[in-house]
Amino acid sequence: MKKLSPVAHRRLDFFPTPVPDESVTSVLSRYVARSPGGARNVLRSLGLPNLRPDNPMPPIAPFLSLLPLGHPWVSVRDVLATHTIVPSLLFFTATDAREKVLSKLAVAARNDPFLMLGLALRKDFSAMRMGLKYCPDCVRDSLAKNGFGCYLRHHQLPYVLVCEIHERPLVAGCKVCGHGDPQKGAWHMASRCDCQQPTPYLTVPEGGVPDDCLQSLVWIAKQSGTTMRASTPPANPVIALRERLRATGFGGARSGLSVKLLSDGLRSRFGTTALKLLGAADSDEELLRWTSRILGINNGSTIKDVGRLLCLTGLCCSSVSNLETELDSGSHSALVKQAEPKGYSAPPLLRRESTSAEVVRRTLEESRHRISRAAARLGVSPATLATDAVRHGIRVPLQASLCAKLGASKLDQIRQRLRAGVPKKTIEMDLNISDWTRRLIELDDLSLIDQHRQSTVDSLRKRHRSAIEAFMAVNRDAGRWDVAQQFAGPYDWLYTFDGVWLSETVQRKPLPSQRSTRAIRGDWPAIDQNLSIRAEDFVAGCRASDVRPQRITKYRILKGIGFLQMLTADKVARLPQLVETLDRLVDSDDSYIERRLQWAMAGYRRTGHELSMNRFRRLIAWGAPTVSAHRDRIMKLAVELGVPVDVRSLFA
């Protein structure tokens, strides 16, 4: 038979017109079936000599210029968007990265699209070599409507195993004649082979799958069709999915996501059988591995596994089209809350049996709300009964004698300070009340406990944010490592409980391999002088601080100036001035004790109380033997500052 040239094909008018959602390979199969000369010669004339019959996404740029005038396939981008699986593969890719890939595919002449998309070696796409998939019912409908059967593009996705319309498993090829077998080079139209009794390959096990598994596969197939036909995909679906999962309760202990919650949620939502068929969970280790990596920090700049991302979407959305909308009632939320600061969330577990609420309430009423008398009846301590009353939400009114002793003004001061989040120990020392008195006031108004807790968290968050914002205002080029070295405590707290704000405020520095210029060699004399000045300023600030003094050591100075990890053995010889400054600024035993005693005595003087052993050792945070050992120094400072001495104390 005479071989046709490309020029002759350009004059042919019988190149098929595609139907909606028909794949490019299906159109080529129809063209091969109606063209003379054999499949190899026909494909060579179209510039596709090595095209396999099981390829769901062949390179289309070579043969579009050969099509006859007036054919609907004119623009490469239009063909990619309407007759290939590219839209679904790029659905979870950021807009800028998506445009780069589409531009590259549009101008590529002979390159394999799978290779250009980085999908050639992917495990899920290697499973597509079983042949082009089709639904027998869809082929029957196409024969009745169009006169021929075709391969639909969304059926060729590796994670689509069932037809979303007819809810039945897809089939591929033929076991008898090798229809669709790339080794035999069989180019056939859908469901059309040379067998009297064709036996196609199944995409699911022979015995079928349970109903719940089938419904999970149908949901994935429907969402795949949605991603295929989406006219305006989200700008960055990976970020939207990550925030949606965090909002529906899958957040981890830090600012990220909990891998265990995601894994448990996937098993509960789709089932182990469906996950294995989708290639998402061949083992528990694989499930944990990809859930921890697929929503990484690249934020959609790479092409990810769309099937697995659709599974994660099923945990928080009823449809992938609702990814950027408000939370819907169909979302599959985890049964946990987001991370909260430890010590400010739920009360700790008791190591004892709690008294029931009914017994506590009845005993308090019988004792006229005298908590000591009620505790004696129950055989527990008043503190234990107070703890049980708080846990059960039982209010214990203040006794009239305690109200008269404290006075209305002092009670208002205590309540206002508790609402403001002032530390409880500070309230007790400033207003000269005991811990038990403060607890009785909280029992009278249980809302004070929650208000104090929330105010403490808010003030702590505000203080940590202010410290880092002030540092970033001066050091605009600082990265996370710089902030972590300068503010270890605030950074760790914000990273654990306010990670979104921290990631927006403090950016990551590029890795050395990502820098476009070579780093400048350090000027060690200038660095030595700068570090020495910073060390002196840090020590001066420590000594002028109003908080309880801590011993100034080399470790503390280096950590304070952010040079602790950088002062290695090879740099000591380059920084002689810093070494001399450290030796000069550290505290000796006597200087540290003297500085701490002066701070404690100055603070004690402001309280207006007489000098006593118990009050002074609580303020200075020393044990009684240590305070007794420095009695002479304490008495000398008391005389110098004019602090009266309690005649009953050790200092008299």
DSSP per residue, 536-583: HHHHHHHHH-SSPP----HHHHHHHTT-TTT--HHHHTT-HHHHHHHH
Q: Residue 122: which pLDDT band, with cuts at 50, 70 and 90?
A: low
Q: What is the pLDDT of residues 21-32, one digit of tens each?
A: 888 888 888 888
Instruction: Look at the alpha carbons of 602, 603, 604, 609 in this order and tell me if their dihedral is positive or negative.
Output: positive
The count of other CB atoms within 10 Å of the CB of residue 39 is 19
Q: Residue 570: which pLDDT band, with cuts at 50, 70 and 90?
A: confident
Q: Residue 2: which pLDDT band, with cuts at 50, 70 and 90?
A: very low
Q: What is the pLDDT of residues 201-223, one digit of tens each?
A: 777 876 777 888 888 899 999 98
The pLDDT of residue 348 is: 59
The pLDDT of residue 416 is: 92
* Higher per-residue confidence, 537 vs 518: 537
CB 613 within 8 A of CB 564: no
Contacts by residues 601-609 (CB-CB < 8 Å, ≥ 24 positions apart): 601/634, 601/637, 601/638, 601/641, 601/643, 602/641, 604/643, 605/641, 605/642, 605/643, 607/429, 609/432
Lowest mean pLDDT among 222-236, 411-425, 512-526, 545-559: 512-526
The pLDDT of residue 182 is: 54
The pLDDT of residue 415 is: 92
Q: What is the pLDDT of residues 282-318, one digit of tens each?
A: 676 777 777 777 776 565 567 778 888 888 888 888 8
Q: What is the pLDDT of residues 344-389, one digit of tens each?
A: 555 555 667 778 888 999 999 998 889 889 989 888 889 888 888 8
CB 89 within 8 A of CB 98: no
- How far apart (Å, rounded) are the C-alpha atoms in residues 547 and 543? 9
Helices 371-378 and 382-392, axial angle in degrees (round to 10): 100
* Higher per-residue confidence, 53 vs 144: 144
Average pLDDT score, the chain: 79
Q: Residue 536: which pLDDT band, with cuts at 50, 70 and 90?
A: very high
- How far apart (Å, rounded) are the C-alpha atoms in residues 433 and 268? 54
Q: What is the pLDDT of residues 437-455, one digit of tens each?
A: 999 999 999 899 888 988 8
State the DSSP string of 406-448. Answer: H-HHHHHHHHHHHHHT--HHHHHHHTT--HHHHHHHHHH-THH
**Residue 618 clears pLDDT 60, i.e. is over it:** yes
CB 160 within 8 A of CB 224: yes
**Residue 93 clears pLDDT 80, i.e. is over it:** yes
Q: Is 402 helix (H, G, I), strand (E, B) or coil?
A: helix
**Residue 529 clears pLDDT 50, i.e. is over it:** yes
Tell me the whole-structure pTM to 2 decimals: 0.51
**Residue 543 clears pLDDT 70, i.e. is over it:** yes
Q: Is 68 helix (H, G, I), strand (E, B) or coil?
A: coil
Percentage with pLDDT > 70 across the chain: 82
The pLDDT of residue 533 is: 92
The pLDDT of residue 350 is: 63
The pLDDT of residue 465 is: 92
The domain ranges of the chain are: 6-202, 211-322, 357-454, 455-507, 524-587, 590-641
CB 599 within 8 A of CB 549: yes
Instruction: Look at the alpha carbons of 245, 251, 255, 256 in this order and tell me if their dihedral is positive or negative.
Output: negative
CA-atom Rg of the chain in angstroms: 37
CB 156 within 8 A of CB 22: no
The pLDDT of residue 278 is: 83
Residues in the chain: 652
Q: Euclidean distance between the first and final Cα of the chain, in Å? A: 124
